[in-house]
Amino acid sequence: MDPKTVETLENTAREMVPAGRGILAADESFGTIAKRFSAAGIGDTEDNRRAYREMLFTTPGVGSYLSGVIMFDETIRQKSSEGKPFPQVLEDQGIIPGIKVDGGAKDLALSPGEKVTEGLDGLRERLSEYRALGARFTKWRAVITIDESTGIPTQRCIDANAHALARYAALCQEQDLVPIVEPEVLIDGTHSIEKSYEVTLNTLHSTFDEIHRQNVDVRGMILKPNMVISGKDAPHQAEVHNVARYTVECLLRTVPAAVPGIAFLSGGQSDLQATAHLNAMNDRARQHGPWPWELSFSYARALQDVPMKTWGGDPSRVEEAQRIFLHRAKMNGAARSGSYTEEMENEAA
């Protein structure tokens, strides 16, 4: 790759993980946003989806805590009520526009219970279009399920997803777009934190092996992994300091130091859990020396859940929902430096 291209990609990647800021994942598919709207009593219409995203993107001051926003295909083509394209709305807040580009997780052939993410066909052309619409980075999500009763995940599932992630990342860098590589080991299940560690370690090893094979320059990418955490139905839930310890150890064993940043997904954690876990990891950095990469966040529900329910589709509640959204972003901004405390939550009261 041309050195100037690498420099541009690296600069953008570093802009995505600055101190005190993280990334909002507002890239819910039609099916996902419909479920979340339904749970909050909101009608799933195009105008409601547009109004909801506008509420988030125009929150006063949110650019102090968000460096990027991942959008969905519909969203990147929409405009604010004032007629301004959403990518420009974000840029005006000092936030980098991004776009989800995968085609979703589909059943992996001859492997019951496992998924592989599709969407490589025609991706080069779609990336060019998204670049023209204002995107500067992209995201592709792979999902890995743990079920010890059926022996999954299998190595073929991990490797198939790693290969797709790496090919996606190469296509993005070819188009001067920073890829967010998201290999998610799901929190669903009864597995222990030790099992989560084992599978996450394997998944990240395979992912970076494929990334190197596909000639992707790790200086121009962001990793979006799960935290190493107990299955949500496990009888014993690991404490916050153990989640931090296992997660950082796993990353140190697998992620090249040249990767500019790691932006964790929340993956089914509550908003407070996701903040506390991120804070504990960055607090460990103060005790053991800086990590080789920035440890940031790229949350969806952990940033949006309460604001969405507060808004409920009612225009009169936009200001209150924005206040709550800004507070949640601010708390995670504090967790970026390990300075978050439970007492800070009282600021939202």
Tell me which of 100, 115, 139, 224 is the catalytic residue. 224
Rounded Cα distance between 154 and 201, Å, is: 14
Check if the beta carbon of residue 281 is closer than 8 Å to that of residue 295: yes
User: Which pLDDT tens digit goes with each residue over 174-222?
Assistant: 999 999 999 999 999 999 999 999 999 999 999 999 999 999 999 999 9
Percentage above 90 pLDDT, the chain: 95
- pLDDT, mean over the chain: 97
Among this protein's residues, is 224 annotated catalytic? yes
Mean pLDDT, residues 321-341: 97
User: Which pLDDT tens digit goes with each residue over 92-129?
Assistant: 999 999 999 999 999 999 999 999 999 999 999 999 99
- CA torsion sign for 107, 112, 114, 116 is negative
All residues at 6 or more sequence positions from 69 whose CB lies less than 8 Å from its CB, including other chains: 23, 24, 26, 56, 57, 90, 95, 96, 97, 98
Element holding 202 (H helix, E strand):
helix 193-213
Mean pLDDT, residues 237-256: 98
User: Which pLDDT tens digit goes with each residue over 10-52?
Assistant: 999 999 999 999 999 999 999 999 999 999 999 999 999 999 9
State residue 348's pLDDT score: 57
Tokens found for residue 168: 């996606």
The answer to whether residue 299 scores a pLDDT higher than 80 is yes
| Assigned CATH topology for domain 3-348 | TIM Barrel (3.20.20)
State residue 6's pLDDT score: 87
Query: Which one, of 152, 62, 134, 129, lies nearest residue 98 by Cα?
Result: 134
State residue 3's pLDDT score: 82
**Opening angle at CA 294, ends 25 and 165, nearest 5:** 55
Tell me which of 15, 54, 182, 210 is the catalytic residue. 182
Tokens found for residue 217: 């320059």
State residue 349's pLDDT score: 52
Beta pairing, strands 115-117 & 105-107? antiparallel
Mean pLDDT, residues 66-82: 98
State residue 5's pLDDT score: 86
pTM: 0.97
The answer to whether residue 308 scores a pLDDT higher than 60 is yes
Rounded Cα distance between 94 and 73, Å, is: 21
